[in-house]
Copies of this chain bind each other. A is one copy, B any other.
C-alpha cells in the first residue's frame, strides 16, 4: 500500500535519523511520541516531521502522537532495514577500515561480512573482526554468501575495475565511496557517497553567508 508513495531523497535521508531517535526513546520506556517532540529533538519543523513520516503510511493518534514500536517497524520496512543485507568491502585501506569500525550501521540491516584487497600484506589479516580476502576470491564469495551490496573503498583509479568485477559476480547494488563515476548496467543500483559532493553544499552556503 505504501509502495505507491515516492518519497523525496531528503525525506529518505532523514528516515534513519527518526529511526535512531525512536529506538533511543523506546529503550527509555517511551511508547508514544508527538511530531512536535520529534521535531524539537532533531531540530526539524514539526510539519516536515509529519510529512516525512506520512510516507510510511503511519497515522498519529490525537493527543497521544505516534506509537513508537509501530513507527519503528514502519520506517524499517519502508527503507528495507527490517531485513539483513549482506555486504562486502573492497579496499581495506584507511576508509575501508573506518567503515568496518563504524557502529552507525546498527539500526540498519547492513552487515559487512568480509573485506577484500589486493595487497599481500593485508590479505589474511583481520580488521575489526572481519577477514581480509584476496580480490581474486571476490566472485566466488559473492555468489556463495548472498552478497547484496558491494562497498567500494579502493583508490579512485581502481574503482571501475572493481565495479566490473562486482557486476560479473552478479552484485545487486554498489555503494561507491570513490569520486569516480562508475559505468554499470542499468539494473545495478549505485549510490555514490563521495564526500566531495557534500563539500560543495557546505562551501556554497559559506559563500552565501559571507555575502549576506
Interface residues, chain A, CB within 8 Å of chain B?
3, 7, 9-10, 12-17, 20, 41-43, 78-81, 85, 93-95, 97-99, 101-105, 107-110, 148-149, 156, 172-173, 175, 179, 181, 183, 187, 189, 191, 193-209, 211
Interface of A: prevailing SS:
helix
In the assembly, what is the distance between CA of A49 and CA of B25, in Å?
A: 44
Which B residue sits closest to A81, measured CB to CB? B203
- Taking the closest CB of chain B, its distance from the CB of A194, in whole angstroms, is 6
Pick from B3, B94, B196, B206: contact of A80, CB below 8 A.
Answer: B206
Contacts A79-B204, A79-B207 known; 5 new A-B pairs at CB < 8 A: A43-B183, A93-B101, A173-B205, A189-B202, A191-B201
Inter-chain contacts of A203 with B (CB < 8 A) = 79-81, 85, 108-110
Q: Contacts A17-B181, A94-B94, A101-B94 hold; do A175 and B202 have CB atoms under 8 A apart?
A: yes
Q: List 11 A-B contacts (CB under 8 A).
A: A15-B200, A16-B199, A17-B197, A80-B206, A80-B207, A93-B98, A94-B98, A104-B196, A149-B206, A191-B198, A193-B198
